[in-house]
A and B are shown apart, each in its own frame.
Chain A
Amino acid sequence: MAMVTINEERCKGCGLCVRICPKKIMQLSETKLNSKGYHPAEVTDMEACMACAACARTCPDVVIQVEK
């Protein structure tokens, strides 16, 4: 069981986590906007997450925390 926590307010929606996720379970939210106007990243299928933390390690704004 993995848990990915994204600080949505600080996410700049660059999509690097989406690019790098080996399970392809990340996307930029189509519905949410943060106060800076970015579509923050979100996990589409937490069940499939391996907690590899590739997303956190590519995130330039260090907004992702990963637990297992």
Chain B
Amino acid sequence: MAIVFKKTSVLTDTIMHYCPGCGHGIVHRLVAEALEELNLQDKAVGVAPVGCAVFAYRYFNVDMQEAAHGRAPAVATGIKRVLGPESCVFTYQGDGDLASIGAAEIVHAAHRGEKITVIFINNAIYGMTGGQMAPTTLVGQRTTTSPYGRDMEHCGSPIRMSEMLATIDGSAFIERVALNSTANIQRAKKAIRKAFETQMAGKGFSMVEVLSTCPTNWGKSAVESMDWLESSMIPYYPLGVKKEV
């Protein structure tokens, strides 16, 4: 019998600590597979964030650094400048990390055309700290710090990072994808590959925003969460390529 699907060796055998049905595991696999397929494992250095993916360095079977909250693009900049164009440097960041506390770092990494790849997980909430409102939380969405639902008058509307970063000259490839269907998961994988290829070709900054779920803090089952992603998140965060040079 031929293998149709088996776990890539660019993921370690460590059991992931994520809650049942959390999208992080899916994205970890896609990133690891992309690195394997592009033969980049021994050139890769990953930067883990603060957030649920804080332990990403346990799961990616590549050299890793753990950054302070929001600072992953700056850390990745330091690494890339030292290791040079042969290296493949990526960050893995959540929406609190990237769109809130790390807003300056991500904007300026893109602005410099930093030749790194950013994997941005948008699940519209702070997961690790217990479900607080993120800049990406949808209007009306209830979180532990927006118990009456996000009020646009009070705290603004959800931020669309991909569209914003696409306006910056230094960004070379930006795409938003989602995990809600087999086809979309395949598209996500393709986008992540494309982002790594963009980096290795020296074209500039690349980012893939992945719409993902947080069943635990959304108060939904894993299955309901995927359905909510589809019905509520995708209409506000349209999928597709936002920038390609």
Contacts and interface: CB of A to CB of B under 8 A. Distances in A.
A58 B23 CA distance: 9
Contacts of A15: 21, 221-223
13 contacts: A2-B4, A3-B1, A12-B21, A14-B21, A53-B4, A54-B182, A58-B26, A59-B25, A60-B18, A60-B22, A60-B26, A62-B11, A66-B5
Contact of B23 (A57, A60, A68): A60
Interface of B: 1-7, 11, 15-16, 18-26, 29, 179, 181-182, 185-186, 215, 221-223, 226
Contacts, number: 80
Nearest to B29: A62
A18 interface: yes
A14 B20 contact: yes
Nearest to A20: B182
Given A10-B15, A14-B222, A15-B221, A60 B24 contact: yes
B5 A16 contact: no
A67 B3 contact: yes
Nearest to B7: A62
Contacts of B222: 14-16, 19
Contact of B226 (A2, A13, A16, A52): A16
Nearest to A52: B182
Contacts of B182: 20, 22, 52, 54, 57-58
A15 B24 CA distance: 15
A13 B221 CA distance: 11
Contacts of A54: 182
A68 B25 contact: no
Contacts of B185: 57-58
B6 A65 contact: yes
A43 interface: no
A15 B1 CA distance: 27
Contacts of B11: 62
Nearest to A57: B185
A20 B181 contact: yes
A46 to B, nearest CB: 12
